[in-house]
Structure 1
Amino acid sequence: GFADDLGALAAALATVAVYINDEVKTKTSVKLKNWFGVEASAEKI
């Protein structure tokens, strides 16, 4: 049913969230600037 799907999605999201640190946010900001030419704030990422 939908309950087990929701549980799997929540677990996946929690797992990914654990690995998003300041280094990842900085790399993401640099990559976005390279792609789009604008400064991206880590607060919005």
Structure 2
Amino acid sequence: MSGVVGILIRAKFAGKVTSLRNELDKLRLDGAFWIGDDVYDRALAAVGES
């Protein structure tokens, strides 16, 4: 994945982010960033948070 979601995935693997789900939810709830359900689910699966 690329873009903001890809950066967050890399941050999760680097130990900079403890929960990708929390970070993605913050972006979604803020309303300034749209993440489709398919991208959301694939990102969580990629880091084992599905």
TM value normalised by structure 2? 0.32
| Larger relative contact order, structure 1 or 2 (CA cutoff 8 Å, min sep 6) | 2
Quick check: which one's helix share is greater?
1
Q: Which has the larger radius of gyration?
A: 1
